[in-house]
């Protein structure tokens, strides 16, 4: 195909996600006799024209909090009273007024006036008022006024200068592509203003010599297929996608025109081969696309018709009697012989506890407690098997249904059917494509976002450089993850580079506490904490408190052994004056069968350590 629909994570407002599933207690919907607003959404773009049709008795916000909220019978005043403008020709509907607002700020940024401002929200009254406002000041709730306020909170403060999510564009095989500036917009939106489109300049930041006037409109970022991005949202549910942390990850992997997108392999479709060059050069060379045609790869992994038909079939009929295996088996026990602490809890809490136990551990858990064994595995329990982070979280389709369509789903049968179909590979092509992408790309990527959240700030940050002058007699020894790479070839010139340096005291080092980050199924060293004999900690890199692996240092620390692969440092062992070449070493990390590189100070104990994180080598460089 020569074109695709895609979303871009830009270097410039918020992602979207799916709310956690709520418990369903009845099988038949109860019709409402009062006016109700449509439910809020945390994924997708709601129809804002359907809101504010009921009499507002209190100030409430409706819509999608990550795309913007509308408050009925509420007027918003800008923080700067001069930052408002009437566009009443767009007052025919709230959606048209909103689109005019979000499509205007990119044009405002191109204005020559230094005092420009862009639209953060609108005051709207059907047929009468469409007023753009800047940053929010005060809100006034007045029941019956008929004036509603739509506001995009994500445009406030520093968020507007961080990474943001673009709208959906049509990718063409050409150097420059244009895309809508807002996440809710699409390339085929009839109300999309062509002048608001952003020209994407590839995946590299603006060069240093770019004029300041051009930097204002320079946009760059990383492409995601529309379906893949929606899978990422589901994998992050019930939280929204943390764009800042995702951006940090994407900038830490190689990206160039010779590599696919941001360095990932399309769930295994893009072949990677490890090659060894001269000396210790070990790095990835990504080959061309395979001639092997995989039919499932051409099917949409998000909209899977087979799953929708399965959900329609697995419904509990209202007149159907409860099956025998649905009935709980009453167990009797003697409270005199033994006391079960779970007996103090009400039945509702016991059932909730069961939903947090892995399915494979349920039997052992119930065998350990007669009280818990008496709790039947209900429909609510089986629905929890599909919650985010659980064993069948990739079958999230039921949570995307309307509330009325969720009622009556036979969760027990859905669970058993899903497990059987996966075990015997009875899945359709769309399901197979989702499983491939989810397991090999989406889930590891979202887990990496969680890992990034655990990291501390960079410890030992320093401004040293390769070309810096050191004192006479300073001789640095180094080890790096890969050598001789052409950073321009691998597109690594645009990566963030952070330097760190620490000086160890003359007192003895008694232990090294090693922090690890888990990335796509492999653990990599992210930081080191050196504990002295006086209890002082000297830290370098990114520390994960409470989850470090300790290494005891018996005598003077004279260097390190490293297990290194082409992506980073996998394991470390201290080198002391008692170690011999034939001695078994104490390792922290995954030693496996990786090659070992040893750094030993010729002048005694280690006193200074330098490191580079996210540098032009695959991971980072340490020098001694």
Query: What's residue 161's pLDDT?
Result: 56
State if pTM tops 0.85. no
Pairing, β 608-613 against β 498-503 = antiparallel
Q: Do 583 and 574 contact (CB within 8 A), yes or no? A: no
Tokens 């040893």 belong to: 598
CA gap 386, 398 in Å, rounded:
9
- CB neighbour list of residue 382: distance below 8 Å, 6 or more residues apart: 411, 412, 414, 415
CA gap 249, 569 in Å, rounded:
17
Q: In which residue ranges of the chain is pLDDT below 70?
A: 1-33, 42-45, 65-66, 103-116, 153-161, 172-176, 207-209, 212, 215-216, 253-294, 316-338, 463-475, 480-497, 566, 578-584, 614-624
564 forms beta bridges with 569
CA gap 253, 248 in Å, rounded:
9
331, 352, 365, 369, 581 from 339: Cα distances, Å: 15, 21, 16, 10, 57
310, 447, 542 from 421: Cα distances, Å: 11, 26, 43
Q: How many helices (H) and strands (E) does the chain have?
A: 14, 27
Query: What's residue 599's pLDDT?
Result: 82
State CA 608 to chain mean position distance: 36
CATH of 478-623, one of 2.40.110.10, 1.10.3720.10, 2.100.10.30, 3.40.50.300: 2.100.10.30
Query: What's residue 297's pLDDT?
Result: 73
Pairing, β 198-200 against β 549-552 = unpaired
Q: Do 615 and 569 contact (CB within 8 A), yes or no? A: no
Query: What's residue 452's pLDDT?
Result: 84
> CA nearest 460: which of 610, 289, 329, 254?
610
CA gap 263, 258 in Å, rounded:
10
For 14, the token pair is 């918020």
CA gap 224, 201 in Å, rounded:
15
Query: What's residue 93's pLDDT?
Result: 93
315 forms beta bridges with 409
State CA 594 to chain mean position distance: 30
State CA 59 to chain mean position distance: 32
The ranges assigned to domains in the chain are 1-25+38-233, 478-623
DSSP conformational letter for 618: S
CA gap 251, 205 in Å, rounded:
10
Q: At 352, phi and psi to the nearest 5?
A: -65, -40
Q: What is the pLDDT of residues 20-39, one digit of tens each?
A: 223 333 334 444 457 888 88
């Amino acid at each position: 195909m020569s074109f695709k629909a895609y979303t871009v994570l830009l270097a410039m407002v918020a992602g979207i996600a799916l709310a956690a599933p709520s418990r369903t207690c009845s099988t038949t919907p109860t019709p409402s006799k009062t006016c109700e607003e449509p439910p809020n959404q945390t994924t997708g773009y709601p129809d804002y024209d359907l809101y504010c049709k009921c009499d507002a008795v209190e100030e409430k916000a409706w819509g999608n909090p990550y795309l913007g909220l509308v408050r009925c019978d509420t007027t918003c005043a800008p923080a700067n009273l001069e930052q408002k403008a009437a566009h009443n020709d767009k007052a025919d509907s709230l959606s048209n007024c909103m689109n005019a607002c979000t499509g205007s700020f990119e044009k405002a940024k191109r204005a020559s006036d230094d005092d420009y401002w862009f639209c953060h929200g609108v005051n709207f009254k059907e047929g009468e008022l469409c007023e753009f406002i800047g940053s929010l000041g005060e809100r006034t709730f007045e029941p019956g006024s008929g004036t509603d306020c739509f506001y995009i909170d994500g445009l406030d403060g520093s968020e507007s200068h961080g990474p943001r999510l673009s709208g959906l564009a049509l990718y063409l095989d050409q150097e420059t592509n244009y895309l809508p500036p807002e996440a809710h917009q699409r390339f085929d939106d009839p109300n999309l203003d062509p002048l608001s489109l952003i020209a994407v300049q590839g995946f590299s930041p603006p060069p240093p010599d770019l004029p300041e006037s051009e930097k204002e409109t320079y946009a760059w970022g990383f492409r995601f297929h529309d379906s893949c991005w929606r899978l990422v949202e589901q994998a992050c549910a019930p939280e929204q996608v943390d764009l800042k942390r995702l951006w940090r990850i994407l900038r830490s992997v190689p990206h160039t025109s010779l590599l696919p997108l941001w360095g990932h392999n399309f769930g295994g479709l893009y072949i990677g081969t490890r090659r060894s060059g001269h000396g210790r050069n070990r790095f990835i060379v990504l080959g061309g696309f395979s001639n092997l045609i995989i039919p499932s790869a051409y099917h949409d992994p998000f909209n899977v018709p087979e799953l929708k038909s399965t959900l329609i079939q697995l419904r509990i009929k209202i007149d159907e009697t409860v099956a025998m295996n649905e009935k709980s088996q009453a167990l009797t026990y003697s409270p005199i012989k033994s006391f079960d602490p779970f007996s103090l809890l009400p039945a509702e809490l016991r059932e909730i506890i069961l939903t947090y136990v892995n399915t494979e551990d349920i039997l052992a858990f119930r065998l350990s407690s007669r009280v818990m064994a008496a709790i039947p595995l209900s429909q609510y329990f089986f629905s929890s098997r599909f919650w985010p982070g659980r064993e069948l979280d990739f079958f999230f389709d039921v949570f995307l249904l309307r509330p009325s369509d969720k009622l009556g789903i036979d969760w027990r049968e859905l669970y058993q059917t899903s497990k059987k179909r996966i075990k015997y590979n009875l899945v359709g092509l769309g399901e197979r494509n989702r499983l491939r992408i989810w397991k090999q790309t989406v889930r590891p990527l979202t887990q990496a976002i969680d890992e990034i959240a655990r990291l501390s700030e960079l410890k030992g940050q320093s401004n040293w450089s390769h070309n810096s002058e050191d004192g006479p007699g300073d001789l640095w020894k180094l080890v790096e993850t890969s050598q001789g790479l052409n950073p321009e070839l691998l597109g690594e010139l645009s990566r963030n580079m952070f330097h760190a340096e620490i000086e160890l005291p003359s007192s003895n080092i008694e232990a090294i506490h090693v922090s690890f980050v888990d990335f796509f199924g492999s653990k990599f060293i992210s930081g080191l904490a050196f504990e002295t004999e006086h209890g002082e900690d000297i830290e370098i890199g990114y520390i994960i408190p409470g989850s470090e692996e300790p290494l005891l240092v018996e005598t003077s620390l004279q260097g390190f052994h490293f297990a290194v692969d082409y992506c980073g440092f996998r394991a470390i062992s201290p080198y002391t004056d008692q170690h011999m070449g034939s001695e078994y070493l104490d390792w922290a990390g995954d030693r496996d069968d990786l090659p070992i590189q040893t750094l030993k100070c010729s002048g005694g104990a280690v006193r200074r350590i330098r490191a580079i994180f996210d540098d032009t080598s695959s991971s980072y460089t340490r020098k001694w």
